[in-house]
Amino acid sequence: MLAGKAIVVTGAGQGLGLAYAQRAAALGASVVVNDLDGDNAAAAVRSIVDAGGSAISVVGSVADWDVAAELTNACIRQFGAIDGLVNNAALHHLEFPWDETEDQMRRIVEVNVLGTMYCGTHALRAMKAQRRGAIVNVASGAHIGLALRATYGATKGAVASLTYGWALEAMPHNVRINAISPTASTPMTKASADDEARFPESARLPGKGAPPASVAPMVTFLLSDLAEGVTGQIVRMTGRTINLVDHPSNAAPVEESEAWTEPTIAAAFKDVFAGRLKPVGQMAKTYAWAPSLGEDGLAGA
C-alpha cells in the first residue's frame, strides 16, 4: 500500500511514533526515523531493517530548524523524494495553570507547535515542488479541554489550526494535510498516569488506551493513495472506534444590534444564548449561568 513511498516520522523512537514507522515500513515505505534519543532511534531502525524494511535515522529535536530541515533533506537524499510526514514528536505534562513555569510552557510550545511547523514547512516546500505528498499531524482530544492539560491542549489546538490552514494552501498542489487524535497506552501516558497521583481524583482520566499498533493503520491510511480526496480533517482514533472531529464554526443564531452595550449583551446572553452555552471540555462539564442585573444595568456578582 505504501510501496515506493518515502516517509518521515518524528518522535519515532518509542510509543505511537515507533508504531507508525514500523507499520509504514511493513506496508512497503522507506522510513526516516527521528527521535531525540539516539539509542531509541537506532533501535527503531534495527527493528524495521530486521523485519525486511528500509529505514535510516536522524537524531535531534524537531524544535531545531536545522534538524527539521535535515529530516526532509535526508529523506530526499537517501530515498529520492519525501512522500509523507508524520508530525508525531511531542511533549506532555500535567499542571494547574497557576503553577506553570516559563520553562515548562516554553519547552512544550517549542516542540509541539514550532516543531510541527518547522518540519511541516520544510516538507511542504519539497512536496509543493514535486506536486504530491501527505502530512499527518498529531492533535489531541485535550485541545477540546482537559483538566491539568490546558498548556498541552493549547499546543494541540494550534496543531489543529495548522492542519486546517495548511490543507487549504496545499490543495492546489496535490498535497493532503490531515491530523489524527489518538488514544493509546504509551510511555507518555504512563508518565502522565504516574504524575496524576499529585492531583485530585476528579482530574484523572478513566480507563487505559489502546496498544499503539492498533492506532497505526489510521496514519498509514492517511499517508496512502487510499485517502485521495481526504484533506483538512482531524480523525479521532482509539484503536476500536474512529470518528471525525467537528471543525470549529460560528454557531447560530446570530444576534444583531446597531450598537451593542453591556446591558444589551447581557440580555442577549440571558434570553438567547443561555440555553445554547456549550459544555466545557472533553469531559463535557456543564455550569450554571444566570446573571442578575444590578442598578447600573451590569451583571452583578
pLDDT in tens, 13-61: 999 999 999 999 999 999 999 999 999 999 999 999 999 999 999 999 9
Taking 70 as the threshold, does the pLDDT of residue 200 lie above it? Answer: no
Q: What percent of the chain has pLDDT over 90?
A: 73
Q: Give the residue numbers annotated as catalytic, written as ranges.
A: 152
Condensed to tens digits (0 to 9), the pLDDT of residues 89-107 reads: 999 999 999 999 999 999 9
pLDDT at 279: 81
- Determine the average pLDDT of the residues in 190-217: 68
Condensed to tens digits (0 to 9), the pLDDT of residues 174-185 reads: 999 999 999 876
- Higher pLDDT: 292 or 93? It is 93
Taking 50 as the threshold, does the pLDDT of residue 290 lie above it? Answer: no
- Determine the average pLDDT of the residues in 232-252: 91
pLDDT at 194: 57
Taking 90 as the threshold, does the pLDDT of residue 188 lie above it? Answer: no
Q: What percent of the chain has pLDDT over 70?
A: 85
CA dist 230 to 115, 246, 275, Å? Answer: 24, 15, 35
Taking 70 as the threshold, does the pLDDT of residue 281 lie above it? Answer: yes
Residues of the chain with CATH 3.40.50.720: 6-244
- Determine the average pLDDT of the residues in 99-122: 97
- Local confidence band at 170 (pLDDT 50, 70, 90 cut-offs): very high
Please state the CATH superfamily assignment of the domain spanning residues 6-244 in this structure. NAD(P)-binding Rossmann-like Domain (3.40.50.720)
